[in-house]
């Protein structure tokens, strides 16, 4: 029953038409939310009494950091879906997400390094959080290289999926690194189980920037997956009707 449901709603054709339908709504609403949240965070929140104005990088760093891990989890779910139910769309999504995941991880690393200069007095420290995030970035690049090294798409999809699942062990390590080891990086200010440690004046624009960035990255994933479908299904008759 689950297999039938997934195959019915995850056909590349249905997906492509649904993407075109919802894309403009997601894109424009996310863009507006992101711009408003950034203006709010950068100009209308009070200065932090410890970090001064450098803390405003939080509105750019945290969404990227959150997305870098979330995108990998999405790839892991897609990998399981592909390996268990042989859903083609899941395989397309894995390779559509990987470059965007690499980009968000790159932003998280670079913004963290720049934030580190005025805050910690150093742009790099081999501590658990930063090192595990660097490993995540290398994993994204490795997955893209592995997939591109095969001319046989099916073989590439299968091996990439297994590697994604194996690499998913790094996600809880990144998440828990600040609790398990003594690091320069502060522990999470927002968790699902506890009250946020960040002031509400700073919290609301942060939530807005996370939602806006999530929407924009979702649009990028939708665009990237659209490209993958066009490449991989180009011999199918419905693609000719579509273009």
Partner 1 sequence: MFNFAFNSFEEAIYMNGHGIYVWIVLFIVVSCITIFFITYRKKIQKIKKKLNESN
Establish how many alpha carbons lie within 13 A of residue 157's alpha carbon, considering only the half-sphere containing its beta carbon: 22
As given in the structure block, the two tokens for residue 102 are: 């690499």
Q: DSSP assignment, residue 187?
A: P
The answer to whether 224 and 100 have CB atoms below 8 angstroms apart is yes
Is the four-CA dihedral 202, 209, 138, 121 of positive or negative sign? Answer: negative
Number of chain positions touching partner 1 (CB under 8 A): 42
Binding mask 116-135 for partner 1 (x = CB under 8 A): -xx-----------------
For position 89 contacting partner 1 by CB under 8 A, the verdict is no
Show the site string, 139-168: x = touches partner 1 by CB under 8 A, - = not: ------------------------------
In the window 163-202, what residues touch partner 1 (CB under 8 A)?
201
Shortest approach of partner 1 to residue 84 CB, angstroms?
A: 29
From candidates 15, 40, 82, 137, binder to partner 1 by CB under 8 A: 40
Q: 176 or 230: whose CB is closer to partner 1?
A: 230
Contacts for 34 with CB less than 8 Å, ≥ 6 apart: 208, 209, 212, 213, 215, 216
Copy the structure tokens of residue 55: 């803390």
Q: How far is the CB of 156 from partner 1 (least distance, A)?
A: 19
Is residue 239 within the footprint of partner 1 (CB under 8 A)? yes
Q: Does residue 114 bind partner 1 (CB under 8 A)?
A: yes
Q: Which is nearer to partner 1, 162 or 216 (CB)?
A: 216
Of the candidate spans 1-9, 67-75, 160-168, 230-238, the one that interacts with partner 1 by CB under 8 A turns out to be 230-238
Distance CA 108, CA 213 (A): 13
What is the 8-class DSSP label of residue 54?
G
Note the maximum CA span of the chain. 62
DSSP string, 84-129: HH--HHHHHHHHHHHHHHHHHHHHHHHHHHHHHHHHHS-S----HH
The contact set with partner 1 (CB under 8 A) reads 38, 40, 42-47, 52-54, 56-57, 60-61, 64, 99-100, 103, 106-107, 110-111, 114-115, 117-118, 201, 204, 216, 219-220, 223-224, 226-227, 230-231, 234, 239-240, 243
């Amino acid at each position: 029953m689950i297999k039938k449901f997934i195959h019915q709603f995850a056909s590349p054709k249905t997906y492509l038409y649904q993407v075109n339908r919802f894309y403009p709504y997601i894109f424009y609403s996310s863009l507006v939310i992101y711009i408003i949240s950034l203006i709010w965070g950068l100009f209308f929140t009070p200065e932090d009494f410890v970090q001064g104005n450098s803390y405003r990088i939080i509105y750019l760093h945290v969404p990227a950091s959150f997305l870098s891990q979330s995108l990998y989890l999405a790839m892991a779910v897609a990998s399981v879906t592909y390996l268990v139910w042989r859903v083609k769309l899941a395989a397309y999504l894995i390779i559509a997400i990987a470059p965007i995941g690499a980009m968000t991880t790159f932003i998280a690393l670079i913004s963290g390094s720049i934030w580190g200069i005025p805050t910690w007095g150093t742009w790099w420290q081999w501590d658990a959080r930063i090192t595990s995030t660097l490993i995540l970035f290398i994993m994204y690049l490795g997955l893209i290289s592995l997939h591109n090294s095969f001319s046989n798409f099916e073989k590439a999809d299968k091996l990439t999926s297994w590697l994604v699942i194996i690499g998913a062990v790094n996600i809880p390590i990144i998440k828990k690194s600040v609790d398990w080891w003594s690091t320069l990086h502060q522990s999470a200010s927002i968790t699902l189980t506890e009250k946020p440690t960040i002031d509400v004046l700073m919290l609301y624009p942060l939530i807005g920037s996370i939602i806006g960035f999530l929407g924009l990255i979702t649009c990028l994933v939708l665009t990237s997956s659209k490209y993958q479908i066009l490449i991989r299904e180009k011999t199918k008759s419905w693609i000719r009707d579509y273009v």
